[in-house]
Structure 1
Amino acid sequence: MHAFDVLGDPVRRRILELLAGGEQPAGAVAARVGDEFGISQPAVSQHLRVLREHGFVTVRPEGARRLYAVAPEPLREIDAWLDGFRRFWAPKLDALGTELARGRRARRLASDPDTGRTPSA
């Protein structure tokens, strides 16, 4: 199964989003995702299993609990694949950053009378 096939499922993407915040017990993930998607704990467990089998998450036993965390390597592979497409959006994001900085500067200059600007005459 290709990485995009694994991440094509919205439940699995949501699980990764939750785990991106840090390691979590399977029960907490199942409760949150189950509530959000209206699926059972066994269904969430199946999604966790798919993520684990394809290397997207790791699991660590702690007593009776299973703690899940994001495994970064498959995400690096996706990032590397996306490299070939960054040229489509990187210049636009750079331009957006420039415009945001200009807007912040203009607001700062407009609100601070002691900016050192010389009045135009």
Structure 2
Amino acid sequence: MSFTFKKIDHVQLAAPKESEELARQFYSDILGFKEIEKPETLRKRGGAWFSIGEIQLHIGTEEPFVPARKAHPALEVENLEAFKQYLSGREIEYIIDHNLPGANRIYLHDPFGNRIELLEWES
């Protein structure tokens, strides 16, 4: 082949229309992502974009809205135990999953019901 895939540029999750402020509260205020500016040509579509490190999550609005309950981004976390304590302190529910050998992992849902996996690989 004459082409190469380099990396995932971003992951987009859906949210209901006019829910940008709730997305900001969750992704920025709770998870610590920084909101990044959308290009002018895309702003009229709604939604919000966020980044942390090399990870970008784009929240796009759509109607009718259906949350991604099975499909999900999986984010690798350093010190997942501390993150679980952080979530518990903010009364954010998560589900512990022991089904992936070699991984400590949890699932949580954003305010729109989208599933997000967080994991830490055992060394």
TM superposition score normalised by structure 1 = 0.28
Compare relative contact order (CA 8 Å, sep 6+) and give the higher one, 1 or 2. Answer: 2
Question: Higher strand fraction: Structure 1 or Structure 2?
Answer: 2
Question: Higher helix fraction: Structure 1 or Structure 2?
Answer: 1
Structure index of larger Rg: 1
